[in-house]
Amino acid sequence: MDKSIILISFILLITSCTNNGKDEEVEVLGCMDVNSLNYNEEATEDDGSCSYYGCTDPSAINYNSQATIDDGNCLSEENSVPGFSLFWNDEFNADTLNLQFWNIERFSKGTFNNESQSYVDSKDNIILIDGKLYIRAKKESPFDPNNPVYTSGRINTKNKVEVQYGYWEVRAKLPTGVGTWPAIWMLNSKIDSIGWPNCGEIDIMEHVGYDSSRAFFSIHNANIHGDVGGTNQQGIYDFDDNENDFNTYAVEWGETYIKGYVNGSLYFNFYKSSELFNDWPYDNPFFLIINLAIGGDWGGVEGIDTSIFPASFIIDYVRMHVKS
């Protein structure tokens, strides 16, 4: 055989092997925005398909021009708060809790305040029905009175929705029955680094079932914490019939003051004092917590009525406004 023919054949063989072994780059079309609902981490070219939840009504005060799927949170002008702009809200019109904004907490019995419930992640305890969030406390079935077991729900917006100052409001219906202890409250986002009570705490609403006609607004800090009853760090609101109706609980919070409201009525008004607060802890973003405790140091003062379960803490909406 001619040597030139052999050489050409060898070159063609080498070239063929090299091409077959080479990885070809494959173009992958998809959504490349990590903040979208359908982000594709394998996409190499954005195809314009990104989807986003948000208010799609141009007439709403919280219209989101980027939104492609309505989240059921649109609010009209009549829902605005004078002097403030809406920052974030959840009207609970979805099928399940939106974990883009909420965390579901899990804690065993007695983790806080000697409470009798465990906080669990269960649809039996945290559920959305007809535009409302139900946080339910339940007793184990079958129930053993000699070894009572209760479960409940606790959620927060830590690391997801944290705001410094503003007007926060929650419309809710309280549970009934001796032993219940629902709360709507706030903690400083620095709690992990500086601890409690140095971080500061704002309790927008606390209620105990054995004292059904009153709601409490409290603040805690390094100066006074724990039981703040009887001090200027707690306000008490007297109801006529608070457990059978929805009421709006709110805080207005600024650089030097904290105010508490029920249905728009001011009943707590605290101003920063340079003499008492060399380290005012309320000058940082806070996150929101909503929970329903059973028993404990306060809720269980008169025991627990085991006939009340399941007990429901019903939240109609959560809205956070900031100064305009």
The model's pLDDT over 280-311, given as tens digits with 9 standing for 90+, comes to 999 999 999 999 999 999 999 999 999 999 99
CA dist 150 → 7, 117, 139 (Å): 84, 5, 4
Dist CA 245 CA 173 (whole Å): 6
- Domain segments of the chain as ranges: 82-323
CB neighbour class for 138 (10 Å; exposed up to 12, middle 13-18, buried from 19): buried
**Do residues 196 and 189 make contact, with C-beta atoms less than 8 angstroms apart?**
no
The predicted pLDDT at position 274 comes to 67
The predicted pLDDT at position 9 comes to 47
Name the average pLDDT for the chain: 92
Closest CA to 232 of 250, 196, 258: 258
Percent of the chain with pLDDT over 90: 85
User: What are 3-26's pLDDT values in tens digits?
Assistant: 544 444 444 444 554 455 455 678
Summarize the confidence of residues 135-159 as an average pLDDT.
97
Q: Poorest-confidence range of 114-128, 131-145, 263-277?
A: 263-277
Tell me which residues are annotated as active site: 201, 206
User: What are 195-204's pLDDT values in tens digits?
Assistant: 999 999 999 9
User: What are 238-247's pLDDT values in tens digits?
Assistant: 987 666 799 9
User: What are 56-97's pLDDT values in tens digits?
Assistant: 999 999 999 999 999 999 999 999 999 999 999 999 999 999
- What is the identity of the amino acid at 231? T
Closest CA to 163 of 46, 282, 76: 282
Strands 265-271 and 166-173: unpaired
Instruction: Give the 3-state secondary structure of the chain.
Output: CCHHHHHHHHHHHHHHHHHHHCCCCCCCEEECCCCCCCECCCCCEECCCCCCEEECCCCCCCECCCCCEECCCCCCHHHCCCCEEEEEEECCCCCCCCCCCCEECCECCCCCCCECEEECCCCCCEEEECCEEEEEEEECCCCCCCCCCEEECEEECCCCCCECCEEEEEEEECCCCCCEEEEEEEEECCHHHHCCCCCCEEEEEECCHHHCCEEEEEEECCCCCCCCCCCCCEEEEECCCCCCCEEEEEEEECCCEEEEEECCEEEEEEECCCCCCCCCCCCCCEEEEEEEEEEHHHHCCCCCCHHHCCEEEEEEEEEEEEEC
The predicted pLDDT at position 24 comes to 63
User: What are 211-229's pLDDT values in tens digits?
Assistant: 999 999 999 999 889 999 9
Tell me the β-bridge partners of 311: 137
Percent of the chain with pLDDT over 70: 90
Query: Under CATH, which number does the domain 82-323 receive?
Result: 2.60.120.200
